[in-house]
């Protein structure tokens, strides 16, 4: 997998330079080849989105080049992740993309902080690999009561995996959904067959 990462050269803040490094490191650790305006390689002379699976823009400082890259990526239906530091103002030219039904699934704009940057990059890889955002924000409240034995097990397992019990249960259910062939077939069946 190959993505293009764009950010305005010469970051004004040290934290922005650190975020650039975090993004490069995240992609390297996850087996993603990164082409970037920040790191020139001999074979990067000609930018072609035909060879890229997506575009990541760190937009703390806007630049005309970013608009061109976004338009090119979207015209080729390549996913775009536009990252803004928390507290930033959304550039006016991006508001149309955010509200556009056609681009809603492939154009993501997220406000990141030190703790959330990796989550947005994981979501972006999900979109490239599956064509959809697999991790959804839980919105449905559900009350569940456990026996003391089940609670001890959930507490033990959540500590072992270093995640909350709620996230552990969500993950277990998501795995069951993904591995249940009968249910997956049900989802793919046209509605008029039901």
Residue 155: per-residue pLDDT: 93
Residue from 88, 114, 119 nearest 21 by CA: 114
- Inform me whether the pLDDT recorded for 85 exceeds 80: yes
- pTM for the whole thing? 0.65
Report the pLDDT averaged over residues 156-162: 86
Query: Over the stretch 2-21, which tens digit does the pLDDT of each residue have?
Result: 899 988 877 666 777 888 88
Question: What is each CA distance from 48 to 52, 55, 69, 107, 118, in whole angstroms?
Answer: 7, 11, 10, 19, 26
Domain ranges of the chain: 2-130, 148-193
- Residue 136 confidence (pLDDT): 56
pLDDT digits (tens, 9 = 90+) for 28-63: 888 888 888 887 765 554 567 778 889 999 987 777
What gap in Å lies between CA 174 and CA 180, rounded to an integer?
10
2-130 in CATH: which number? 3.40.50.450
Average pLDDT along the chain: 81
pLDDT in tens, 67-80: 888 988 988 888 99
Do the beta carbons of residue 24 and residue 73 sit within 8 Å? no
Q: Is the pLDDT of residue 191 over 50?
A: no
Instruction: Pick the closest to residue 125 from 36, 40, 51, 23 (CA basis).
Output: 23
**Can you give 93-114 as a three-state secondary structure string?**
HHHHHHCCCCCCCCEEEEEECC
């Amino acid at each position: 997998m190959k993505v293009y990462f764009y950010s305005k050269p010469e970051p004004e803040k040290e934290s922005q330079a650190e975020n650039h490094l975090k993004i490069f490191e995240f992609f390297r650790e996850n087996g993603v080849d990164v082409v970037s305006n920040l790191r020139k390689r001999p074979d990067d002379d000609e930018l072609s989105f035909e060879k890229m699976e997506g575009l990541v823009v760190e937009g703390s400082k806007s630049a005309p080049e970013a608009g061109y890259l976004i338009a090119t990526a979207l015209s080729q239906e390549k996913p775009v992740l536009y990252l803004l530091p928390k507290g930033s103002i959304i550039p006016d030219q991006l508001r149309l993309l955010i509200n556009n039904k056609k681009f809603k699934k492939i154009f993501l704009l997220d406000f990141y902080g030190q703790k959330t940057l990796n989550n947005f990059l994981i979501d972006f890889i999900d979109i490239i690999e599956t064509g959809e955002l697999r991790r959804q924000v839980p919105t449905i409240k559900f009350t569940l009561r456990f026996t003391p034995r089940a609670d001890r097990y959930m507490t033990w397992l959540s500590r072992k995996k270093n995640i909350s019990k709620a996230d552990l249960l969500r993950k277990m259910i998501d795995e069951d959904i993904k591995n249940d062939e009968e249910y997956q077939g049900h989802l793919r069946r046209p509605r008029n067959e039901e």
